[in-house]
Amino acid sequence: AMASSHQISGVGARYEKFGSRVGGGGEVADFLKQCGLSNYTDTLVQHGFEDMDTLSLIKESDLENLGVRRGHRKRLRKALLGYQVAQGGVLDPNEQYMSITKKMSIDAVDVNARDECGRTVLHLAVRKANANVVSSLLQRRADINAQDKYGLKPFDVSGYYLESHDPRRKGVKTILHVDVEEADAVGVALLLRHGANVEHRGPFGMTPLMVAARRSDVDVVRALLDGGASVDAKDRFLQNTALAW
């Protein structure tokens, strides 16, 4: 739920001093020693990852193909994230989102960096309806008015599409719907304060207020009403309003 935030710790600080001293042919060996992964030095160097610029671009598939164990891959990814931060580098928003969801660090994230489509990490988190990440990004003052190349702001990007054999169940479930279902009144208020659409229709054509009323969640209903939710809106199938629940 959005009321709780990630347990976050910076990863850049550990590698700040290291980043300023690396250089020459032994930089990868020095870096891997710092990470406790010296046993992979020969393999990585032999396959062309012989300097930090190249190593920073290594892909997950490369690590897997080179026989790097899963836990060690995660450790190396976290260390490389710290190294890039120490060097003043900025990660692609997609990589930043992945680093957050893997509980690495949000301190290392440039919350307003853009990908090739102009999307920020907040665009991605809202689209994936990840309430915890959105909460953390908002607390880091992510720009809620950042527009992608199509002119869409983060909260214009609704959420994930719910597939179902029952056509009535199909629809876009927004991050606001997720917080309503989790009975997170604080999270609901936070989203509405930052521009989430209080009238967005989800599965069955139900607004967040209808979902909250069906759950008899007084605190969430109050938060939605305070955010301007309409009690007169009707769902698309039974033509019921929130009052019917």
**Same-domain check for residues 103 and 19:** yes
Same domain, 173 and 101: no
pLDDT the model gives residue 86: 63
Residue 203 lies in a domain: yes
User: Are 102 and 193 contained in the same domain?
Assistant: no
Shared-domain flag, residues 236 and 172: yes
> Taking 50 as the threshold, does the pLDDT of residue 54 lie above it?
yes
Number of structural domains the chain divides into: 2
One domain for residues 42 and 116: yes
Distance CA 217, CA 162 (A): 23
Give residue 87's pLDDT: 63
Token pair listed for 154: 């983060």
What is the pTM assigned to this prediction? 0.50
- Cα distances (angstroms) measured from residue 202 to each of 62, 114, 163: 40, 28, 12
% of the chain beyond a pLDDT of 70: 72
What is the residue range of 39's domain?
12-130
Q: What is the pLDDT of residues 34-50, one digit of tens each?
A: 889 999 999 999 998 88
Per the model's pLDDT, the better-predicted residue between 130 and 108 turns out to be 130
Listed in order, strand segments (DSSP E) in the chain are 159-162, 171-174
Name the pLDDT band for 24 (thresholds 50, 70, 90).
very low
pLDDT beyond 90 at 210? yes
**pLDDT above 90 (res 230):** yes
Give the model's pLDDT for residue 150. 72
Is 31 among the domain residues?
A: yes
Question: What CATH number has the domain bearing residue 212?
Answer: 1.25.40.20
Among 20-34, 53-67, 219-233, name the one with the lowest average pLDDT. Answer: 20-34
Confidence check: pLDDT of 229 > 60: yes
Which one of 23-27, 102-106, 131-135, 188-192 scores highest in mean pLDDT?
188-192
* Least reliable range by pLDDT among 12-26, 52-66, 90-104: 12-26
Residue 237's pLDDT band, with cuts at 50, 70 and 90, is confident
Residue pair 63/73 in contact by the 8 Å Cβ criterion: yes
> Is residue 144, in this structure, part of any structural domain at all?
no
Query: Does residue 150 lie in a domain region?
Result: no
118 vs 143, more confident: 143
Name which of 161, 166, 158, 164 is nearest 237 in CA terms: 166
Residue where a domain terminates, one of 112, 130, 148: 130
Following DSSP, what letter does each residue of 5-27 receive, concatenated? ------SHHHHHHHHHH--STTH
Looking at the structure, do residues 78 and 164 belong to the same domain, yes or no? no
Shared domain check, 53 and 17 = yes
Using the 3D structure, point to which of 113, 130, 147 is the last residue of a domain: 130
Specify the CATH number for the domain of residue 120. 1.10.150.50
Strands, E assignment, 64-176 = 159-162, 171-174
Q: How far apart are CA 187 and CA 92, in angstroms?
A: 27
Cα 160 to Cα 176: distance, rounded to the nearest angstrom = 12
